[in-house]
């Protein structure tokens, strides 16, 4: 069994990018992490319910009056706590303008529609509609597939989302859709979805930390139209325990065609007019 704690950033009207991100690991590792996270916040006189990644990183609201050295130390200590144990990051983002430039069948495929070739090579067609008006389904679907693949055979991947976060409503809808339209390869590994309070759950706060920093990095890279720069600290630190490179993916005008090409290699040009 693995437990995955997930959060989002950019799932709002007018956002240029959206990100689904978080960490997964075994229950024992999460317990050790929680003790350390609580200890670090208590030492810095930060009530657990006051932790919000955007406020911490942007040095505002509760953290506005923190001296620069205390502010930096807290960020460094929290980042170090996340990589101290065997909990693994996963972060998938999408440039919304590049998704919106896709054809309708391509949007349907990337948001959950299924391809079926009925055993005839080159005859693949979409057999359902997906959710093409909800672009955040694209990183969501990819993330769920990857997490399910990490669950051991005979085991489950269980998912946790903050009920007090804007993403809770989306997560309920998304996970319900997936359970009713199960992933063919990993349907038997999808466990339960649970919604604890993020303000009481260090594991979700770690997910918030990663999601916000990934979102900010993507905003900067997209604005510069330059995706070559590797994330700076603290995001670089948070990603140290990635299992494989594909656990950090930014879908844009270059990587979306690459993903499409992989489907063409398997099924032929299924979206040709």
The yes-or-no verdict on residue 121 having pLDDT over 70 is no
Task: Give the pLDDT confidence score for residue 205 in this predicted structure.
Answer: 97
Query: What is the pTM for the complete model shown?
Result: 0.91
Q: Of the ranges 81-90, 134-143, 150-159, which is most confident?
A: 81-90
Task: Give the pLDDT confidence score for residue 120 in this predicted structure.
Answer: 66
If you average pLDDT over residues 140-147, what whole number do you get? Answer: 88
If you average pLDDT over residues 163-186, what whole number do you get? Answer: 69
Give the pLDDT confidence of 24-43 residue by residue, as tens digits: 999 999 999 999 999 999 99
Phi, psi of 188, deg, nearest 5: -75, -5
Residues 6+ apart with CB under 8 A from 162: 7, 168, 195, 196, 197, 198, 199, 201, 204, 208
Residues 6+ apart with CB under 8 A from 54: 60, 212
202-224 and 68-82 are packed helices; what angle lies between their axes, rounded to 10 degrees? 110
Domain residue ranges in the chain: 2-267
Can you say how many angstroms the Cα of residue 37 is from the centroid of all Cα atoms in its chain? 21
The C-alpha R_g of the chain, in whole angstroms, comes to 19
Architecture of domain 2-267: 2-Layer Sandwich (3.30)
Give the pLDDT confidence of 237-252 residue by residue, as tens digits: 999 999 999 999 999 9
Q: How confident is the model at residue 177 (pLDDT cuts 50, 70, 90)?
A: confident
Task: Give the pLDDT confidence score for residue 167 in this predicted structure.
Answer: 67
The yes-or-no verdict on residue 90 having pLDDT over 90 is yes
Phi, psi of 64, deg, nearest 5: -60, -40
């Amino acid at each position: 069994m693995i437990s995955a704690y997930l959060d989002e950033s950019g799932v709002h009207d007018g956002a240029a990018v959206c990100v689904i991100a978080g960490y997964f690991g075994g229950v024992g590792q999460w317990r050790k992490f929680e003790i350390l996270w609580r200890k670090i916040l208590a030492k810095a006189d930060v009530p657990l319910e006051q932790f919000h990644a955007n406020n911490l990183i942007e040095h505002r609201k509760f953290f506005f009056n923190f001296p620069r050295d205390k502010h930096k130390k807290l960020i460094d200590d929290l980042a170090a706590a996340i990589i101290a144990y065997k909990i693994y990051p996963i972060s998938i983002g999408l440039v919304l303008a590049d998704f919106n430039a896709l054809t309708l069948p391509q949007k349907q495929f990337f948001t959950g529609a299924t391809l079926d070739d009925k055993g005839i090579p080159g005859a693949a067609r979409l057999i359902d509609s997906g959710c093409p008006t909800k672009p955040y389904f694209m990183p969501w679907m990819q993330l769920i597939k990857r997490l399910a693949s990490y669950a051991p055979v005979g085991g489950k991947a269980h998912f946790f989302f903050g009920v007090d976060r804007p993403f809770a409503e989306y997560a309920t809808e998304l996970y319900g859709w997936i359970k009713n339209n199960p992933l063919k390869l990993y349907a038997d590994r999808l466990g339960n979805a649970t919604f604890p309070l993020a303000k009481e759950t260090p594991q979700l706060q770690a997910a918030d930390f990663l999601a916000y920093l990934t979102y900010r990095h993507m905003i900067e890279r997209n604005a510069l139209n330059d995706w070559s720069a590797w994330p700076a600290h603290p995001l670089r630190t948070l990603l140290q325990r990635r299992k494989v490179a594909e656990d950090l993916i930014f879908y844009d005008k270059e990587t979306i065609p690459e993903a499409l090409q992989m489907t063409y290699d398997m099924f032929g040009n299924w979206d040709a007019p």
